[in-house]
Amino acid sequence: MIDFDQYRTTVTVTGTAPARLSVIDVGPTAAPGQGTIVCVHGAGGCAEQWYYQVQHFCPRYRVIAPDLRGHGQSEAPDSAYSLEEFVSDFRQILALLEVSEPFILMAHSFGGPVAITFAAAQPQCVSKLVLIATAPEMYIAPLYRLLVTLPLPMQLLEWLRTILAPRSYAPAFVIRRILIETILRWRGYDLLPTLSIPTLVIGGQWDMVVPMMLARKTATLLPHARLEIVSYARHLPHLERPDEVNRLLDRFLGVPASWCGVLECE
């Protein structure tokens, strides 16, 4: 089992406000490295949501998973929290950690717009792309849409967050800005067809944020995509059914079966 705190580092990025970001940076320690995997979590998530993938791949790959600004152990400054700012943060993380290119890019939910925008602008940097529970647009339940668009006091929103989203890893003002500035505006229909990168699209059978119809649409729009639907999974298939998701990732990345589940990070 990995103690993530042992592998955390901190980088400082600029933006509409500078932020110190906490980044998990692991491996390889037990075998020759095969490159780098960079994982981007979703809105309200954190780097530790990639726990099972980090543990699975770190013997073979360098695996990097940042807490995005405003999330997890990263600072939450009073900044824009726009898609442009998150993509800028992502580029700075890669530069500051001296990530070798091309690398494998994995993204979940809101991390999808960040990954897709980056990959479309710099396709030479990404060897393979994995999109989990993400799409050219995402469904926001009417209640949540109403809450973030009404001019409610932030103290009330923070209280509601603890009731409605107790497992979120970002304060209410951050989630509100991401929803307004990025998710409600996100339309990736024009970008997806421009990506010639081999892509694995993973959807959850019971996902209400990115229903199977949207997952299929995502794969259809991408020129070189494979679609996999994880049975009995909702919006977090890599957490809900990690063994199945890791098998799909192994197959997509061409990982030899001989080392799967054998090596461990030290």
96 domain residue, yes or no: yes
pLDDT of 3 > 50? The answer is: yes
Residue 173 located in a structural domain: no
Answer whether 0.75 is exceeded by the pTM: yes
13-16, long-range: CB < 8 A, 24+ apart: 13/69, 13/88, 13/89, 13/92, 13/93, 13/96, 14/88, 14/92, 15/69, 15/79, 15/80, 15/85, 15/88, 15/89, 16/79, 16/80, 16/82, 16/85
Residue 153 corresponds to which amino acid? P
How high is the pLDDT of residue 176? 85
pLDDT at 98 over 80: yes
Residue of higher predicted confidence among 263 and 265? 265
* For residues 36-57, average pLDDT: 96
Cα-Cα end-to-end distance for the chain:
9
Top pLDDT among 222 and 258 is at 222
pLDDT at 196: 95
Task: Write out the DSSP string of 10-64.
Answer: EEEE-SSS-EEEEEEEE--SSS----EEEEE--TT--GGGGHHHHHHHTTTSEEE
Residue identified by tokens 């933006």 is 15
The residue ranking higher by pLDDT, 151 or 197, is 197
Are residues 173 and 157 in contact, defined by beta-carbon separation less than 8 angstroms? yes
Mean pLDDT (the chain) is 89
CATH number, domain of 207, equals: 3.40.50.1820
The confidence score (pLDDT) of residue 41 equals 98
Q: Cis peptide leading into 28, omega within 30 of 0?
A: yes
The answer to whether 227 and 215 have CB atoms below 8 angstroms apart is yes
Find the mean pLDDT for residues 114-138.
96
Report d(CA 220, CA 136) in Å as an integer.
11
Would you say residue 9 lies in a domain?
yes
Give the C-alpha distances (Å, rounded to integers) separating 225 from 40, 114, 155, 209, 215.
19, 18, 43, 21, 11
What pLDDT is stored for residue 32 in this prediction?
55
Q: For residue 148, is it within any domain?
A: no
- Residues 108-130 have a mean pLDDT of 97
Average pLDDT of the segment spanning 36-64: 96
Look at residues 8, 225, 27, 13 and name the one whose alpha carbon lies nearest to residue 112. 225
Is the separation of the CB atoms in 129 and 119 below 8 Å?
A: yes
Identify whether 167 is part of a domain: no
The CA distance from 262 to 243, in Å, is 14
Host domain of residue 14: 4-138+187-253
Determine, yes or no, domain membership for 182.
no
Asked if residue 152 is part of any domain, the answer here is no
Element (H, E) at 127: strand 126-132
Nearest-angstrom CA–CA distance, 11 and 211: 35
Q: Answer whether residue 159 shows pLDDT above 50.
A: yes
Number of domains in the chain: 1
Calpha distance 248→230 (Å, rounded): 9
The answer as to whether 235 is a domain residue is yes
